[in-house]
């Protein structure tokens, strides 16, 4: 009823300007003419331990985007359990979602979920991680090779700043079942391999961390340090893995002497940077990723084509996936404040206890 009243162009324009929620809102209101059913979108997040981002950033920004767009949504977290992932997907499909958005735990189980959704007429989006051989209609993420490149360049900048001579570089890669980990490695190895070849750096131990498990990363790094005592730099694929290495270095009083990289601009990672124990992190503005996903999901729910800015090749499925890719940013001590200014972390959570003084030094107001 209310919808019927709003269906003139003028009032649609008025609604969108009043709610100030951007370009997509006017067409949302338009689509109300056909059916009264609101689109319903289901999102499955992977876990809450491999990175703080999934619960603190992705859940928050996705909920906000869906709320702003006025669609129904259900966001659940599989907590690293592949069985649970499938169960959540089945429940969401049964509950009548129009669009299913997933962050897969591995391509095999992700593909099973995507194929099932497709068979039931549910549209699908791969969020952040591409499901190899999968059937998602769209992929929304960051340029993940660029993320890795920033990490490789970041480590080499910090090694130069420290005037390191022929440092032995250890590598802690992400999960071997995460296509992103492959892309990050392509990015940083593209920077570091030539330096190993030229003899500027020495290639040290290089290992993948199953499921991005932070505790395992600590054990792996401890073994690396035992076998190679002179490690002079650590390429860690995210803040959690980086923090695991830093914790081991702290026990040996070597924190701050060995630059360590990261990713995700987590509170812990940023604090490690302020303290001088971590060299850099990569900030991915998850709000942009979430907003793009909400926009695409709504287009799909309405049977429309969504806007994309890239095409990503799925090497396993040998298909081109229409994608939205956002741009990552490198964060060092001198621009930690940008992450706070962007609202990704608050001063209150970052500048606690001993970090208060470090925050002031770093110009965080
Ligand atoms: C994401 C990273 C995250 C990692 C562990 C990757 O797929 O792109 O942001 O740190 O998974 O959850």
Provide the pLDDT confidence category of residue 96 given band limits of 50, 70 and 90. very high
Residue nearest ligand 1's atom 6 by CA: 180
Instruction: Break the chain into its structural domains and give their ranges.
Output: 6-142+286-326, 144-283+329-361
Task: State how far the Cα of 190 lies from the Cα of 184, in Å rounded to an integer.
Answer: 10
Q: How many CA atoms lie within 13 A of 289 on its CB side?
A: 28
Q: What is the DSSP letter of 200?
A: S
Q: How far apart are CA 360 and CA 25, in angstroms?
A: 40
Q: Which residues contact 266 (CB under 8 A, 6 or more apart)?
A: 51, 52, 53, 56, 239, 240, 281, 345
Note the maximum CA span of the chain: 73
Q: Which of 29-38, 75-84, 178-187 has the lowest mean pLDDT?
A: 29-38
Mean pLDDT of the chain: 91
**Torsion angle, alpha carbons of 53, 56, 61, 66, to 10:** 110
- Which of 58, 143, 212 best tests ligand 1's pocket when mutated (most atoms within 8 Å of CB)? 212
Strands 168-173 and 123-127 turn out to be unpaired
**291 band by pLDDT with thresholds 50, 70 and 90:** very high
CATH topology of domain 6-142+286-326: Rossmann fold (3.40.50)
Q: Report how many helices (DSSP H) and strands (DSSP E) the chain contains, helices first.
A: 16, 12
Beta 138-142 vs 281-283: how paired, if at all? Answer: unpaired
CA–centroid distance, residue 202 to ligand 1 (Å): 27
Residue-wise DSSP of 287-325: HHHHHHHHHHHHHHHTTPPPP-SEEEEETTTTEEEEEEE
Q: Which of 148, 264, 266, 328 to mutate to test the pocket of ligand 1 (most atoms within 8 A of CB)?
A: 264
Q: How far apart are CA 342 and CA 351, in angstroms?
A: 16
On the 0-12 / 13-18 / 19+ scale of CB atoms within 10 A, 17 is exposed
Q: What pLDDT is attached to residue 15?
A: 34
Give the pLDDT confidence score for residue 27 in this predicted structure. 30
Q: Which residues of 302-325 are buried (b: 16+ CB within 10 A; e: fewer)?
A: beeebebeeebebeebeeebbbbb
Query: What integer is the mean pLDDT of 218-222?
Result: 98
Closest to 28 measured CA to CA, from 61, 59, 69, 58: 69
Residue 364: CB atoms within 10 A of its CB come to 21
CA distance 264 to 58: 11
Q: What percent of the chain is modeled with pLDDT above 70?
A: 90
Tell whether the model's pLDDT for residue 24 goes beyond 50: no
Pairwise CA distance, residues 157 & 172, whole Å: 18
Q: Which of 5-9, 120-124, 343-347 has the lowest mean pLDDT?
A: 5-9
Give residues (CB < 6 A) around ligand 1. 50-51, 53, 128-129, 174, 178, 180, 212, 238, 263-264
Cα–Cα dist 339/305, whole Å = 33
Q: Which of 5-14, 178-187, 286-295 has the lowest mean pLDDT?
A: 5-14
Q: Is the pLDDT of residue 17 over 80?
A: no
Whether residue 350 contacts residue 362, with contact meaning beta carbons closer than 8 Å, is answered with no
Query: Other CB atoms closer than 10 Å to residue 353's CB: what's the count?
Result: 8
Alpha helices in 164-285 (DSSP H): 179-198, 214-227, 239-251, 267-274
Share of the chain above pLDDT 90, in %: 88
Amino acid 38: pLDDT: 84
Range of lowest pLDDT (8-12, 169-173, 296-300): 8-12
Per-residue model confidence as pLDDT tens digits over 227-250: 999 999 999 999 999 999 999 999
Residue 36's pLDDT is 52
Of 171, 151, 184, 167, the residue nearest 280 (C-alpha): 151
- Region 325-330: mean pLDDT is 98
Tens-place pLDDT, residues 60-77: 999 999 999 999 999 999
pTM for the full predicted model = 0.90
User: Residue 340 has which token pair?
Assistant: 């706070």
- Nearest residue to 1 (alpha-carbon basis) of 45, 32, 46, 42: 32
pLDDT confidence of residue 31: 35
Which is it for strands 329-331 and 281-283: parallel, antiparallel or unpaired?
Answer: antiparallel
> Which pLDDT score, from 0 to 100, does residue 304 have?
92
Residue 271: band (very low, low, confident or very high) from pLDDT cuts 50, 70, 90: very high
The reply to whether 6-142+286-326 and 144-283+329-361 are identical in fold is yes
Out of 20-24, 92-96, 259-263, pick the least confident. Answer: 20-24
**What separation in Å is there between the alpha carbon of 52 and the centre of ligand 1?**
9
Between CA 184 and CA 199 the distance in angstroms is: 23
CATH superfamily, with its number, for domain 144-283+329-361: Response regulator (3.40.50.2300)
For a pocket test of ligand 1, which of 180, 182, 266, 344 has the largest count of ligand atoms closer than 8 A to its C-beta? 180
């Amino acid at each position: 009823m209310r919808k019927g009243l709003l269906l003139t162009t003028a009032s649609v324009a008025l609604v969108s300007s009043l709610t100030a929620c951007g370009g997509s809102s006017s067409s949302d209101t338009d689509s109300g003419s056909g059916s009264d059913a609101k689109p319903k979108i289901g999102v499955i997040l992977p876990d809450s331990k491999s990175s703080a981002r999934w619960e603190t950033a992705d859940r928050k920004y996705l909920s906000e985007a869906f709320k702003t767009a006025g669609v129904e949504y259900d966001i659940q977290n599989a907590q690293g359990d592949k069985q649970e992932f499938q169960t959540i997907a089945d429940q969401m499909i049964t509950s009548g979602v129009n669009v299913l958005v997933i962050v897969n735990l591995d391509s095999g189980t992700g593909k099973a979920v995507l194929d099932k959704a497709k068979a039931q007429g549910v549209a699908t989006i791969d969020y952040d991680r591409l499901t190899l051989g999968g059937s998602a209609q769209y992929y929304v993420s960051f340029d993940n090779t660029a993320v890795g490149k920033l990490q490789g360049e970041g480590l080499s900048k910090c090694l130069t700043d420290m005037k390191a001579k022929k440092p032995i570089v250890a590598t802690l890669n992400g999960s071997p079942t995460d296509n992103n980990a492959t892309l990050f490695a392509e990015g940083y190895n593209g920077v570091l391999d030539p330096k190993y070849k030229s003899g500027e750096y020495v290639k040290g131990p290089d290992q993948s961390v199953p499921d991005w498990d932070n505790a395992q990363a600590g054990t792996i790094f401890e073994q690396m340090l035992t076998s190679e005592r002179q490690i002079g730099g650590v390429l860690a694929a995210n803040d959690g893995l980086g923090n695991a290495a830093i914790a081991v270095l702290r026990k040996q009083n070597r924190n701050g002497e060995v630059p360590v990289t990261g990713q995700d601009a987590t509170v812990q990672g940023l604090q490690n940077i302020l303290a001088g124990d971590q060299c850099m992190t990569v900030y991915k503005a998850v709000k942009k990723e979430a907003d793009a996903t909400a926009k695409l999901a709504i287009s799909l729910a309405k049977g429309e084509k969504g806007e994309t800015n890239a095409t990503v090749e799925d090497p396993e499925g040998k298909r081109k996936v229409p994608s939205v890719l956002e741009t990552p940013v490198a964060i060092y001590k001198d621009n930690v404040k940008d992450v706070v200014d962007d609202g990704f972390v608050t001063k209150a959570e970052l500048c606690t206890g001993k970090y208060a003084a470090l925050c002031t030094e770093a110009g965080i107001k």
